[in-house]
Structure 1
Amino acid sequence: MSLKVVIIGGGSSYTPEIIEGFINRYQSFPCTEIVLVDIPAGLEKLKIITALAKRMIKRVKLPIQLSMTLDRRSALKGADFVTTQIRVGGLAAREKDERIPLSHGVIGQETNGAGGIFKAFRTIPILLDIAKDMHELCPNAWLINFTNPAGIVTEALIQHSPHKRVIGVCNIPFNMRNSIAEMLGCTAAEIEIEFVGMNHFVFGKRVWQNGIDRTQEVIKRLIQNGDQYSPANIVSIGWEQTFIESLQLIPNPYHQYYFQTDEVLAKSLQAFKENGTRAEIVQKIEAELFQKYQDQELDHKPVELEKRGGAYYSDAACNLMNSIYNDTGDIQTVNIINQGAIPDLPATAVIEANARISRKGPQPLAIGPLPRSIRGMIQQMKAFEELVVEAAISGNYQVAYQAMIMNPLIPSDQKAKTILDEMLEAHRKDLPQFHLHSFKF
């Protein structure tokens, strides 16, 4: 029986991790064919990754056929699962997403604030094209999207694509489980978190260790050791005791941008002045990784990959595919249609929540009303996401501006317009939908 997986963005430095994920799960997820897909600009990296992936498979002597192509439509034929890990405009575009807002004294980050908005503007049209091809060429395949901003991209696909077998995944819930497991001195497998909210704005409502409620202990330890609670790509400064005790929720690392904006901005500006943007640091890490990937003796995922902020995402993506394929009925945290799980949000909105995974896909677990302390913020962020999706598809300048001023990380109407205009021009080649209109920027 064949089992085909297509990885779009196959030339990514992350790909060795997902290949490792398939290798480790081969007994339960017997993948027979993997196709790595990329664009002409990524051909050299795609060749390097393909060669490394083949060495990894050869080392373990598994009957997995692996190939590469620049022909996406050809690759999609007969696919059972498709993963997307693309970066439209590459790291050069990410650098602009970070540098331009920072130059105006505003948070510059690749998935939050103005940077996240523009990443979505560039990405959503491409993902909609991919989903359209899937609907035609592999209508029964599941699209597992890891491309950021994952929640907004998944919202766009669910609402505006004919292909509805779409699930968004993120490594932040996985990182939160790992961090909490370290706090409690146990394994991540022993930890269960009830999540509430949306991608990069999700909170932990309750924490259990082997079925025992440990929420209060985690809150106490988070106050004591909060500065150790972030992945590599997020500035970590810890949490105020009053904030955590009052909220009675477990924030995720990205919440620092929203609740500690001044402190994070000051650290980001200092790092920007001393070392450049995070994108520039990542470019150096990537250059080192690809240099290492070309070593003909290398036949496994190098530990240096963990320096990337998205490290370990393969556990989320591979676990999800494995559970769908085996109809396991286990619970995972995914980006999925609300379906009434949170009654304070539209039933059709995409949320990040725990869901039971089966062959039919994810079914969200009921969460109940949002805690009053975060209800307004979550509703505002969902309205913001809806505006981003509309602007990305329509290219409407006024809607794009509305999205900018709705975002809490953009502090004034004038800065919103200045940054919007500057970034529209900086990303002109990757935003044709906006430049088809005669708006005066």
Structure 2
Amino acid sequence: MKKFNITIAGGGSTFTPGIILMLLDYLDEFPIDTIKLYDNDGDRQKTIADACEILLKERAPEISLLASTNPEEAFTNVDFVMAHIRVGKYAMREQDEKIPLKHGVVGQETCGPGGIAYGMRSIPGVLELVDYMEKYSPEAWMLNYSNPAAIVAEATRKLRPNSKILNICDMPIGIEELIAKNLGLSSRKEMEVDYYGLNHFGWWTDIRDKQGNSLMSKVTEHVSQHGYATDGTSELEQQESWNSTLKKAKDVQVLDPSTVPNTYLKYYLYPDYEVAHSNKEYTRANEVMAGREKFIFGECRDIIEKGSAEETKLTIDEHASYIVDLAKAIAFNTKERMLMIVENNGAIINFDPTAMVEVPCIVGSKGPEKLVVGEIPRFQKSLMEQQVGVEKLVVEAFEEGSYQKLWQAITLSKTVPSAKVAKDILDDLIEVNKAFWPELK
């Protein structure tokens, strides 16, 4: 069986060790020759890379690891690029969250003004990776799960229309694992789902077992009472901010009790509640920096100091197994059914054909084939049209360097109460993003 060469773009990310551990778990199904790490922050990446090198020597010595800040070295002779970059790191995420909150608006990394700010930083970063891949490994595929996925996907659709880039998100995967747990199933793989929407903005309309029997009535009943909460033992429920998010889904579901919603819809449908329950001084970014960031880098330094990863507390990133499913589908033409972010083009009949929608696809060696969803109800369609308008305006603002269009994008977001507030937020965001955004005129 062929062994694959993989580049992980964003090699200094806290998610990199978990992804490498997950790849090791699937070596029988997806053999690997070389893993390359690429990051533009060499110092940050070195800590992760040195720890991962020790880990690989102990657990899979046949795999080579190379860490580089040189694009030619990192992207030459690879089959897949797995991209999870965060332009501006957590310091800029903190600004994305705190600036809107200062103006009484939802402060969230992928939703509302914060997501728009992050999108403006992510677009050039992801396009740069696509260009490196096409220059040095033109046959490779990019599996992109860099956020905010909706804006990044629209940017690649418009600005790199022929690129071999697949945009995916692990959020539905995480929710489906919780749904499976509540149904008494061992894994989401025992379910088949119908889902439609935009990234971080969608609805499950049916969930079936592998024999085709609908489990939806049980799912909707649980969500209407408890949201996505389980017995409290899941990793997400251990984090206070996520715990409240999972429970809040029951209030979102009330608006269409026949479906179950993506958790992020709470930011659009209950923005006043979210602002009232946010700590303007200590946001999710601070939680991650004090928690995950500190833990992962601490564990990596510990491995380096001991020269061994045998006692490490680093764990497999289970959610990331969908990345291997996707790579396998491309490599071995498995025709895996997966949720993907793709150009609509008829999947949702009564919706903008150029919108990047998240729908089930059958994935093989030529990429994803969309399954037709059909017509969607007016409520969801109207919400999605407003949000697609935001995403398209952000990409146009980036492309044209347009202050006007970015102001329009923020004003159009359902999380923002007025054009005046939108302008105040935009002016503050421009100030802190000078090193990352194009100059706006």
**TM-score normalised by structure 1 residue count:** 0.91
Could you list the per-position Cα deviations for residues 172-209 of structure 1 after superposition, in whole angstroms to 9, with x for gaps in the alignment?
A: 11012111112111122212221101100011111112
User: Gapped runs of 5+ residues in structure 2?
Assistant: 231-235
- Name the counterpart of 1:180: 179
- Name the counterpart of 1:116: 115
- Name the counterpart of 1:151: 150
- Name the counterpart of 1:14: 15
Residue range with higher mean Cα deviation, 345-354 or 319-328? 345-354
Checking the alignment, whether the CA contact within 8 Å between 2:359 and 2:370 is kept in structure 1 is: yes
Distance, in Å, in 2 between the alignment partners of 1:94 and 1:317 is: 24
Distance, in Å, in 1 between the alignment partners of 2:380 and 2:315 is: 35
The correspondence of residues 72-87 of structure 1 with structure 2, limited to 5 A, is 72-87=71-86
Task: Pick one of 354, 360, 367 that aligns with 2:360.
Answer: 354
Q: Tell me whether 1:288 sits opposite 2:295 in the alignment.
A: yes
Post-superposition offset of 1:153? 0.3
Classify 1:251/1:117 alpha carbon distance in 2 versus 1 (closer, same or farther; 3 Å).
same
- Could you tell me which amino acid in structure 2 is paired with residue 117 of structure 1? I
Checking the alignment, whether the CA contact within 8 Å between 1:193 and 1:208 is kept in structure 2 is: yes
- Name the counterpart of 2:233: none
Checking the alignment, whether the CA contact within 8 Å between 1:120 and 1:392 is kept in structure 2 is: no
Classify 1:36/1:243 alpha carbon distance in 2 versus 1 (closer, same or farther; 3 Å).
closer
Q: Tell me whether 1:26 sits opposite 2:27 in the alignment.
A: yes
Classify 1:300/1:204 alpha carbon distance in 2 versus 1 (closer, same or farther; 3 Å).
farther
Task: Pick one of 416, 427, 434 that aligns with 1:421.
Answer: 427
Distance, in Å, in 1 between the alignment partners of 2:31 and 2:343 is: 29
Q: CA RMSD in A?
A: 2.1
Residue range with higher mean Cα deviation, 163-172 or 9-18? 163-172
Could you list the per-position Cα deviations for residues 190-242 of structure 1 after superposition, in whole angstroms to 9, with x for gaps in the alignment?
A: 12221101100011111112321011211111012116276755442434579
Residue range with higher mean Cα deviation, 102-111 or 346-355? 346-355
- Name the counterpart of 1:314: 320
Task: Pick one of 257, 261, 264 that aligns with 1:251.
Answer: 261
Checking the alignment, whether the CA contact within 8 Å between 2:21 and 2:315 is kept in structure 1 is: no
Post-superposition offset of 1:92? 0.7
The correspondence of residues 159-178 of structure 1 with structure 2, limited to 5 A, is 159-161=158-160, 163-178=162-177
Q: Secondary structure at the match of 2:368?
A: strand
User: Gapped runs of 5+ residues in structure 1?
Assistant: none
- Name the counterpart of 1:272: 280
Q: Secondary structure at the match of 1:139?
A: coil
- Name the counterpart of 1:434: 439
- Could you tell me which amino acid in structure 1 is paired with residue 191 of structure 2? I
Could you list the per-position Cα deviations for residues 92-112 of structure 1 after superposition, in whole angstroms to 9, with x for gaps in the alignment?
A: 100100011111111000000
Distance, in Å, in 2 between the alignment partners of 1:122 and 1:241 is: 32
**TM-score normalised by structure 2 residue count:** 0.91
Q: Tell me whether 1:340 sits opposite 2:332 in the alignment.
A: no
Percent identity for Structure 1 against Structure 2:
31
Distance, in Å, in 2 between the alignment partners of 1:52 and 1:251 is: 39
Checking the alignment, whether the CA contact within 8 Å between 2:359 and 2:371 is kept in structure 1 is: yes
Distance, in Å, in 1 between the alignment partners of 2:310 and 2:280 is: 33
Distance, in Å, in 2 between the alignment partners of 1:139 and 1:86 is: 21
Could you list the per-position Cα deviations for residues 353-382 of structure 1 after superposition, in whole angstroms to 9, with x for gaps in the alignment?
A: 111110111111111111233111112211
Distance, in Å, in 2 between the alignment partners of 1:140 and 1:37 is: 19
Moved segments of 4+, more than 3 Å: 229-235, 239-243, 300-306
- Name the counterpart of 2:272: 262
Query: How many residues get paired?
Result: 425
Q: Secondary structure at the match of 2:50?
A: helix
